[in-house]
Amino acid sequence: MVTAIIGGSGFLGSSLATRLRKNGKDHVIYDITGKSTRGKTEFADIENPESLVRLRGSTIINLAAVHRDDVRPLSRYD
């Protein structure tokens, strides 16, 4: 089974991806940036459910977060 790390290009996701790789676990990083230095990375936007359909059947770890103080609308934090 593949582990999908959503929001995986940040600090926590990168650390998790490194650990999974060292333990031989199959994983893919999904991130709005579409890039990471820690393994196979594909674009996904947690605010766009259609971009997440391909994750069906995967173990999903959701680390996606908006991490700025000036994000509008505030509902994006939810």
What residue segments make up the domains of the chain, in order of their start?
A: 3-77
- What are 43-64's pLDDT values in tens digits? 888 888 898 898 898 999 998 8
pTM value is: 0.76
- What are 7-33's pLDDT values in tens digits? 888 888 888 999 999 999 999 999 887
Residue type, position 62, single letter: N
Give the residue among 8, 52, 49, 46 at the shortest CA–CA distance from 27: 8
What pLDDT was estimated at residue 5? 93
Q: How far apart are the first and last CA of the chain?
A: 29
Q: Which two tokens stand for residue 35?
A: 């890039």
What does CATH list as the number for 3-77? Answer: 3.40.50.720
